[in-house]
């Protein structure tokens, strides 16, 4: 169940939804109660939109993937999150010196890779429900952690997920933690292991070919 939930988080979690007015204001200091409510409403709508796709029997798998791709690009900070996944190799002291062309090829391949790799697993969640439990300010830039509980469609123990929503502009998911597992750190470790074994260009080619 955890791997499928991480799949859900990855596919749903870099830039569709309209920005709430409170997010349009420049963030200064911890998120206000109004910003926290807007973040909770944003996650609630995002989950509803995602599950509507899963439950739409008129869609083929490819049509569903297309809709998820739109959700991904419209609601997640994919580019910034993707760059964090390879931050080790963009550091000045990295033994692997990436060119601008390599980084751009990686950035172009990332959204489709996430959708193509994880979308089919999302059907495990066709009957799941996401309930917002509470919110909390995160840091001093208007970011909000939205705590949710996701039911197991097979009757298992509910799973808790924290969605970090960026403040200071259009609401976007910047990271997700599932039962204490930081999704971004997990994916970063997977990418690092692949790069160390096969090289960065091989990772990009692998991402392009993933279906």
Residues 38-82: tens digit of each pLDDT: 999 999 999 888 888 888 889 988 888 888 888 878 888 888 888
Average per-residue pLDDT in the chain?
82
Confidence of residue 119 (pLDDT cuts 50, 70, 90): low
Task: Read off the CATH number of the domain in which 34 is found.
Answer: 3.10.450.710
Domain that holds residue 127: 2-209
Residues whose CB falls within 8 Å of the CB of residue 193, separated by 6 or more in sequence, listed in order: none
What distance in Å separates the CA atoms of residue 5 and residue 153, rounded to the nearest whole number? 11
pLDDT value at 203 more than 90: yes
Q: How confident is the model at residue 136 (pLDDT cuts 50, 70, 90)?
A: very high
pLDDT 10s digits, 159-180: 888 999 998 778 899 888 888 8
Residue 84 CA to residue 80 CA, distance in Å, equals 6
Sign of CA dihedral 56, 59, 61, 64: negative
pLDDT of 22: 44
User: What pLDDT shows up at residue 7?
Assistant: 52
Give bridge partners of residue 141 from the DSSP assignment. 29
Sign, CA torsion 68/69/75/79: positive
Residue 133: pLDDT band with limits 50, 70, 90 = very high
What's the token pair of residue 29? 């200091």
Mean per-residue pLDDT, 134-141: 93
Lowest mean pLDDT among 22-36, 86-100, 102-116, 128-142: 22-36
Query: How many residues are there in the chain?
Result: 211
| C-alpha radius of gyration, the chain, whole number | 17
CA 202 to CA 204: how far, in whole Å?
A: 5
Q: How many folded domains does the chain comprise? A: 1
pTM of the model as a whole:
0.77
CA distance 8 to 4: 6
Q: How many CB atoms lie within 10 A of CB 91?
A: 10
Place of tokens 């509910």: 158
């Amino acid at each position: 169940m955890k791997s499928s939930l991480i799949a859900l988080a990855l596919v749903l979690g870099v830039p569709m939804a309209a920005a709430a007015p409170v997010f349009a204001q420049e963030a200064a200091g911890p998120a206000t109660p109004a910003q926290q409510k807007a973040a909770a409403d944003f996650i609630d709508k995002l989950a509803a939109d995602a599950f509507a796709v899963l439950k739409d029997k008129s869609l083929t798998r490819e049509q569903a993937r297309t809709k998820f791709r739109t959700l991904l690009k419209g609601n997640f900070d994919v580019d910034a999150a993707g760059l964090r996944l390879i931050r080790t190799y963009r550091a000045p002291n990295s033994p692997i010196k990436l060119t601008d062309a390599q980084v751009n090829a990686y950035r172009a391949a990332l959204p489709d890779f996430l959708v193509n790799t994880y979308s089919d697993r999302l059907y495990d969640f066709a009957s799941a429900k996401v309930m917002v439990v509470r919110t909390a300010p995160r840091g001093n830039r208007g970011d909000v952690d939205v705590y949710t509980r996701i039911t197991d469609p097979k009757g298992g123990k509910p799973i808790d997920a924290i969605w970090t929503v960026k403040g200071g502009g259009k609401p976007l998911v910047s990271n997700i933690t599932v039962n204490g597992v930081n999704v971004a750190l997990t994916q970063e470790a997977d990418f690092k292991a692949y790069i160390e074994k096969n090289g960065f260009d091989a990772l990009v080619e692998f991402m392009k070919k993933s279906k």
